[in-house]
Amino acid sequence: MQLSDKKAMLSFSDGGESIELPVYKGTVGPDVIDIRKLYGQTGMFTYDPGFLATASCESSITYIDGDKGELLYRGYPIDQLAESCDFLDVCYLLLNGELPNKEQKADFDGQITYHTMVHEQLHTFLRGFRRDAHPMAVLTGLVGALSAFYHDSTDITNPEHRHISAIRLIAKMPTLVAMAYKYSLGQPSIYPRNDLTYTGNFLRMMFATPCEEYEVNDVVERALDRIFILHADHEQNASTSTVRLCGSSGTSPFAAIAAGVACLWGPAHGGANEAALQMLEELQANGGVAKVGEFMNKVKDKSSGVRLMGFGHRVYKNYDPRARLMQETCKEVLEALGLQNDPLFKLAMELERIALEDPYFVERKLYPNVDFYSGIVQRAIGIPTSLFTAIFALARTVGWIAQWNEMLSDSDYKIGRPRQLYTGSPSRDVPANR
Ligand code: SDX
């Protein structure tokens, strides 16, 4: 980061001593005011619950311009990556900073392929869950359990150990997600195969059985691969910040990623794709397009507690570029599968049309986000609603581990330890006569 000529001056209305704070510039986007010396100089903290105006770190991985609706992975626009790359190209890019050449791609794909199997004892962990457990509960457990298996790479200060942990996590997430799905069906797990692509392998582990092979459908494979690309990373969102804060204590990368999985599960975050589809299905069952107006009135009535799931975003105050690409993917897949008249897709398009014209949404800059259409296309592919967020976690693992690695590669990093504004009781004595 580059020191700006501009300084921030902080003065106090009571005539207290003013202080000067450095301002730093990034490559693009908002400058930052460096407040690291603020407490030492003033005895005061800044106050920013929800971190609406706080840069928690310096990063060169992903850039978002919320007003323009722009998303760059290592400088490349998301629409160009979705169009010209596959998911493992994007994994290599996020981890290494550049797109792979042919040799690098072949080597990286090979590394991932040869780490897709999980230790056989992971299946034993699975047996402990109820069959109807939510897949995200199972995935949180299985990913955390991985931290009990890799004693050959526990030194997180060693770049090689960090690299093999990244490879193992990216490679094994599809296997673990498919295991959770098969377990919920009462079917045996399907082992990965080394002759399939990353996404084709996942589809086969999801839908093949010992009695019947699964032929990977090219349109479905390409659509799912694009869904993985669109979900791969997203700056310092809640789950990525969780991984960074958890990883900053020096814990196992598998434990830190398990914390990210747990955070992503929430309906305000990655759980919104499941909630958005449930919202559409309920609306469809209760009158569909004819009832959209009534539903939107509920959404606008705060006391109802109803939100338009898949809409709104902390950063995007314009259309989420991923939502637009997801809508295109939706159209392609539905047409390819002969489902172009899918009532849920039509209902979603009508909800979007109304929302984008309604002053309530326009004033609050509420647009569809990545979760609004992703459920429809996953449902069309045959993925059950309860697995949508696990698919999100599968894809976001590379972003989490790239951000974790970036943090640990900086020898000056510190354990994260926010402070607070205390409004509880002042010191008092325990009553003698209790
Ligand atoms: C993801 O951070 C990331 O990058 C996340 C993510 C990623 O890739 O990692 O992009 C993935 O999590 C996408 C977001 C998925 N969540 C949802 O779709 C759930 C529904 N959306 C929201 O609950 C909400 O929009 C958030 C949580 C996404 C953002 O919330 P903010 O920034 O804290 O905004 P807010 O809740 O303060 O809302 C501002 C106003 C409020 O109204 P007023 O108080 O100003 O009158 O907008 C309203 C809210 O009531 N509002 C909504 C709404 N979202 C916000 N009203 C109806 N429906 C909605 N969806």
Q: What is the pLDDT at residue 412?
A: 87
Q: Is the pLDDT of residue 298 over 90?
A: yes
Query: Percentage of residues in the chain with pLDDT exceeding 70?
Result: 100
- Residue 313 falls in the annotated catalytic set: yes
Phi-psi region of 54 (alpha: psi -120 to 50; beta: other; left: phi over 0): beta
Ligand 1 touching residue 364 (CB < 6 A): yes
DSSP 8-class letter at 60? S
Contact 144, 255 (CB under 8 A): yes
Could you tell me the sign of the dihedral formed by the alpha carbons of 210, 215, 218, 219, in that order? negative
Q: Is the pLDDT of residue 259 over 90?
A: yes
Contact 291, 44 (CB under 8 A): no
In the predicted model, what is the mean pLDDT of residues 114-131? 96
Q: Identity (one letter) of the amino acid at 346?
A: K
Q: Is the pLDDT of residue 262 over 90?
A: yes
Nearest CA to ligand 1 atom 24: 312
393-413: per-residue pLDDT in tens? 999 999 999 999 999 999 889
Ligand 1 touching residue 234 (CB < 6 A): yes
306-350: per-residue pLDDT in tens? 999 999 999 999 889 999 999 999 999 999 999 888 899 899 989
Q: Identity (one letter) of the amino acid at 188?
A: P
Contact 74, 93 (CB under 8 A): yes
Which residue is associated with the tokens 């992503």? 264
Could you tell me the sign of the dihedral formed by the alpha carbons of 90, 94, 99, 102, in that order? negative
Distance of alpha carbon 15 from alpha carbon 8, whole angstroms: 17
Mean pLDDT of the chain: 95
Among the listed residues 86, 134, 313, 342, the single catalytic one is 313
- Residue 371 falls in the annotated catalytic set: yes
Distance of alpha carbon 404 from alpha carbon 407, whole angstroms: 5
Q: What is the pLDDT at residue 340?
A: 86
In the predicted model, what is the mean pLDDT of residues 145-153? 93
Helices 343-357 and 370-381, interaxial angle, to 10°? 170
Ligand 1 touching residue 123 (CB < 6 A): no
In the predicted model, what is the mean pLDDT of residues 269-275? 92
